[in-house]
Amino acid sequence: MVKYIGKRLIYMFLTMFLIATATFFLMQTLPGSPIASYNKLNESQRAIVEKKYGIDKPKPVQYAIYMKNLAKGDLGTSFVFKGKSVNDLLVNRFKPSFILGAQAMVFGTVVGILLGMLAALRQNTFWDYGSTFFAILGISIPSFVFASLLQYWIASEWHLLPVGLWNDGWKSSILPSIALAMGPLALSARFIRTEMIEVLNSDYITLAKAKGANGYEIAFKHALRNALIPLVTVLGPVAAGLITGSLVVEQIFAIPGIGEQFVSSIMTNDHATIMGTTLFFSAFLIVVIFIVDILYGIIDPRIRLSGGKS
């Protein structure tokens, strides 16, 4: 197990290195430059600014400097928010995004699992068709459409919750979290339904029945854990979906989160912030996938003890 985790950590660093390199050079191909918007500057002033940010040097040298700073954990200075380090920006912006993401993840998977179980236990009834319909809606309608609909009906028409912004405590987080949760919810519901139906037909469920277990014990004690195994493997990509979803949803609800900043940094060609945010998202995703793999072993003892499936 320790060896397995060590190996995984090495791969994770390697992945981060490749992502950093690829992002750095991809960004150089973007049209314009970070200081293109400083259009009031004359030639010599422009040269001073370029020198200050180190973008007058050849690209390989810039890359070497960037990687050196990155190794120290320094993501550089923002071009747009003058004098602010990218690290500070990320830390400030991280909290709302994390709250939204975590709430959406928990709400989406828990409700999705319950919905999927309901559909499987009441197969081919109203409940099954209802939950399937709901799940197909969740999969096919993008989160920004949900976000707009929620904003329109619940916030604007019925005045139940704030339309946007991050100034009303927990209330502000409800609508964006729900909008974000629809994807994971639908996906978990579909996965659990399919898997649960298969598990419920397996011999060990019949044996559990033969022991005198009731419906609740069969569903939660025996079937659920086995039905969760495939879902856990897709939770990594689900987390990825949440991140990309949050880019848009934060924009719609005007939430000062990391996604909102990411989008605006691209608009303003703020290289250091784009790099920093990309790396942050990548690191987040890699860590989530790592946790998912560990979780997989905890849920399925057959994998835990052999230390990796291969």
Min dist. Cβ of residue 135 to another protein (A): 23
* Nearest Cα residue to 166 out of 252, 244, 229, 87: 252
Min dist. Cβ of residue 183 to another protein (A): 27
Q: Where are the beta strands (DSSP E) in the chain?
A: none
292 scored as a contact of another protein (CB under 8 A): no
Nearer to another protein, 226 or 282 (CB): 226
Question: Residue-wise over 247-267: b if at least 16 C-beta within 10 A, else e?
Answer: bbbbbbbebbbbbbbbeebbe
Q: How many CB atoms lie within 10 A of CB 197?
A: 17
Residue 187 near residue 233, CB atoms below 8 Å = no
206 scored as a contact of another protein (CB under 8 A): yes
Of positions 50, 88, 198, 300, contacts another protein by CB under 8 A: 300
Of positions 9, 165, 207, 287, contacts another protein by CB under 8 A: 207
Nearer to another protein, 46 or 122 (CB): 122
How many Å apart are CA 214 and CA 212, to the nearest integer? 6
Please give the C-alpha separations between residue 242 and each of 144, 198, 250, in angstroms, as whole numbers.
12, 28, 11
- Span near another protein by CB under 8 A; candidates 22-30, 59-67, 230-238, 299-307: 299-307
* Nearest Cα residue to 163 out of 151, 150, 145: 151
Min dist. Cβ of residue 213 to another protein (A): 7
212 scored as a contact of another protein (CB under 8 A): yes
Token look-up 């993501």 returns: 75
Count, residues near another protein per rule CB under 8 A? 22
214 scored as a contact of another protein (CB under 8 A): yes
Of positions 2, 140, 170, 203, contacts another protein by CB under 8 A: 203
Q: Residue 85: phi, psi to the nearest 5?
A: -80, 150
How many Å apart are CA 64 and CA 79, to the nearest integer? 19
Binding mask 228-247 for another protein (x = CB under 8 A): -x------------------
Min dist. Cβ of residue 209 to another protein (A): 6
Q: Which residues bind another protein (CB under 8 A)?
A: 202-204, 206-214, 221-222, 225-226, 229, 299-302, 305
